């Protein structure tokens, strides 16, 4: 353990574990994913811990299982226990019926129930209480995402002094939209209780600072570059943009493995002489899946040379299925896929191959590797990791990335992706046709530069940069992040 550096306490809504129930028995296993991969070495090296909800409302039973899971992970896992009502009002309610749609500019989907706000504050207090119990004064507490914007305030209300940082994984909305939030002043002042606030892009940071400027005009911004400072009373709050990324080398290595190559070869047999256009998303209305299907239909209507020469592979990972809105979205996607296939299918060619399930890692990497075109068209996205994963897996550099202007990833990839407005059906259809016809040299040049940009700023860069911004005494040499 490195004694010179502060211990890291990671806090997120969900613990990085998967719970498996076999009969009456629960088993807990450490999870995977980019954030866990990147933070785990830091947590092990500094003797850190991770705090979060374990995903069940049967607290005591699960808590007992954390010991073995912690030993396996190499750092300790501390669960927060939430009741079924809290899960409904804090998680499904405030977090996912208010903040999620509002921060993705979809305020018409918000359900501003006052009781959600009370549950949100109470849940944030519960997370803070666990952090207060298990952290030490010298620790650095790194809180993740929109579920926990009031946690630093709750810690202070308990009289707990810690250095804290917050990273928002989703976008921060423009002023006009943020102002619709009934609890806008509390959310903003709660965020300012953190010592460092990190956003995905400069655009998010600009939006945040313009809200601060409007609602708290007395606060002054100091400094320039990647991290600026706000003087809040006696305190100094740092504000920066830190685009999250992936473990590039790990994806590239995985894509190059024999297992993935065999799987890609096997899958590719289904698409003889055709270009595969890939879409991979969680089921969510922010991901623009129906809009993408309209655009694909438009492309098939206007460009007959695509017929029997392309397949859209649409992978939708089940998510938040308990919510009626998500079930309605699923029904809409099912209907559109049926309509397009019903209309355009020919003997030996079904235009859309649709999976509604989570793929194994081998299958996911195989699809990334074999697809000639990735169609990533969220209506709004904090970053979007799928587009970065796709590029990392294109080892032969022969793929084309079509990317929404409204994904955070555009700030780094705008030069070499084909940019589209996901609401513009004809524009997206034109980009599909352009990608289909793009020659090999141009594909290679673009993909080569995309991969270089992603490799240079991978998930390890992100963790190090955030921690440096939080802990460095002097920010003078902090380079700006491109936008
Ligand atoms: P998400 O909205 O979940 O994340 P994204 O960044 O695209 O969106 O990450 C999805 C992840 O799920 C990817 O790592 C992908 O590999 C995985 N995945 C997708 N489909 C899968 C499948 N079929 N099978 C298995 N795994 C699959 C939120 C924000 C984003 C932000 C991230 C990280 O909404 O904007 O980029 O956090 O900060």
Annotated catalytic residue 169: yes
Cβ of 428 closer than 6 Å to ligand 1, yes or no, is: no
Q: How far apart are CA 415 and CA 401, in angstroms?
A: 11
Long-range contacts of 264-273 (CB under 8 A, 24+ apart): 264/366, 264/367, 264/369, 264/370, 266/366, 267/363, 267/366, 267/367, 267/370, 268/370, 270/311, 270/353, 271/311, 271/370, 273/309
Whether this model's ipTM surpasses 0.90 comes out as yes
Cβ(193) – ligand 1 distance below 6 Å: no
Looking at 105, 118, 169, 353, which residue is catalytic? 169
Tell whether domain 248-456 is in CATH 3.40.50.2000. Answer: yes
pLDDT for the residue numbered 320: 82
Q: What is the pLDDT of residue 27?
A: 76
What is the predicted pLDDT for the residue at 21?
A: 73
Cβ of residue 382 lying under 6 Å from some atom of ligand 1: yes
Q: What is the pLDDT of residue 59?
A: 60
CA of 254 to the centre of ligand 1 (A): 17
What does the pLDDT read at residue 462?
A: 94
204 is catalytic: no
Place of tokens 């190090």: 464
Taking only the tens of pLDDT, the chain with its 483 residues reads: 555 678 999 999 999 887 777 777 777 776 766 688 788 888 888 889 999 998 877 666 677 778 878 888 888 999 999 999 999 999 999 999 999 999 999 999 999 999 999 999 999 999 999 999 999 999 999 999 999 999 999 999 999 999 999 999 999 999 999 999 999 999 999 999 999 999 999 999 999 999 999 999 999 999 888 899 999 999 999 999 999 999 999 999 999 999 999 999 999 888 888 999 999 999 999 999 999 999 999 999 999 999 999 999 999 999 888 888 999 999 999 999 999 999 999 999 999 999 999 999 999 999 999 999 999 999 999 999 999 999 999 999 999 999 999 999 999 999 999 999 999 999 999 999 999 999 999 999 999 999 999 999 999 999 999 999 999 988 776 766 665
Decide: 317 in ligand 1 pocket, CB within 6 A.
yes
- Look at domain 8-241 and name its CATH class: alpha beta
How many other C-beta atoms lie within 10 A of the C-beta of residue 103? 23
Determine the pLDDT at residue 156.
98
Distance 140 CA to ligand 1 centre (A): 26
**CB-based burial label for 383 (10 Å; 0-12, 13-18, 19+):** buried
pTM over 0.90: yes
Q: Give CATH 3.40.50.2000 domain extents, the chain.
A: 8-241, 248-456
Q: Which residues 6+ apart lie within 8 Å of 278 measured at CB? A: 312, 313, 315, 367, 368, 371, 373, 374, 375, 390
Give dist(CA 398, CA 442) in Å, integer: 9
Q: In the prediction, which pLDDT does 214 show? A: 97
């Amino acid at each position: 353990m490195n004694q010179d550096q502060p211990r890291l306490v990671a806090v997120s809504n969900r613990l990085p574990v998967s719970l498996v129930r076999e009969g009456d028995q629960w088993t807990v296993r450490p999870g995977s994913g980019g954030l866990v991969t990147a933070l785990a070495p830091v947590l092990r090296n500094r003797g850190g811990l991770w705090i979060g909800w374990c995903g069940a409302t049967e607290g005591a039973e699960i808590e007992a299982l954390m010991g073995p899971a912690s030993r396996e992970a190499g750092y300790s896992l501390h669960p927060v226990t939430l009741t079924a009502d809290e899960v409904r009002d804090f998680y499904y309610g405030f977090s996912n019926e208010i903040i999620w749609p509002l921060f993705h500019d979809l305020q018409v989907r918000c359900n501003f129930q006052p009781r959600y706000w009370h549950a949100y504050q109470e849940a944030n207090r519960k997370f803070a209480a666990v952090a207060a119990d298990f952290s030490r004064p010298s620790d650095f507490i790194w809180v993740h995402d929109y579920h926990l914007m009031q946690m630093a305030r709750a810690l202070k209300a308990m009289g707990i002094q810690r250095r804290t940082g917050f990273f928002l994984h989703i976008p921060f909305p423009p002023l006009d939209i943020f102002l619709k939030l009934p609890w806008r002043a509390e959310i903003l002042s709660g965020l300012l209780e953190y010592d460092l606030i990190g956003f995905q892009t400069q655009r998010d940071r600009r939006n945040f600072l313009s809200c601060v400027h409007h609602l708290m005009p007395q606060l002054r911004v100091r400094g320039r570059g990647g991290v600026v400072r706000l003087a809040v009373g006696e305190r100094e709050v740092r504000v920066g943009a830190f685009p999250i990324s992936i473990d590039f080398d790990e994806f590239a290595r995985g894509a190059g493995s024999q297992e993935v190559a065999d799987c890609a070869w096997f899958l590719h047999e289904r698409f003889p002489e055709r270009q595969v256009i890939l879409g991979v998303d969680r089921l969510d209305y922010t991901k623009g899946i129906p809009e993408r299907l309209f655009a694909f239909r438009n492309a098939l209507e206007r460009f007959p040379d695509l017929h029997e020469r392309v397949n859209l592979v649409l992978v939708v990972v089940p998510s938040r299925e308990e919510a009626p809105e998500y079930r309605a979205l699923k029904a809409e996607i099912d209907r559109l896929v049926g309509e397009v296939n019903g209309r355009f299918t020919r003997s030996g060619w079904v235009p859309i191959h649709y999976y509604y399930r989570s793929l194994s890692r081998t299958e996911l990497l195989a699809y990334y590797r074999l697809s000639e075109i990735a169609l990533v068209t969220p209506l709004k996205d904090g970053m979007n990791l799928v587009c970065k994963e796709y590029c990392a897996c294109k080892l032969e550099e022969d793929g084309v990335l079509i990317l929404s202007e409204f994904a955070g990833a555009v700030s780094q990839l705008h030069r070499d992706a084909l940019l589209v407005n996901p609401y513009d059906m004809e524009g997206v259809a034109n980009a599909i046709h352009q990608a289909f016809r793009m020659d090999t040299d141009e594909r290679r040049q673009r993909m080569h530069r995309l991969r270089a940009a992603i490799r240079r700023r991978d998930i390890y860069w992100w963790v190090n940069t955030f921690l440096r911004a939080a802990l460095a005494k002097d920010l003078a040499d902090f380079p700006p992040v491109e936008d």
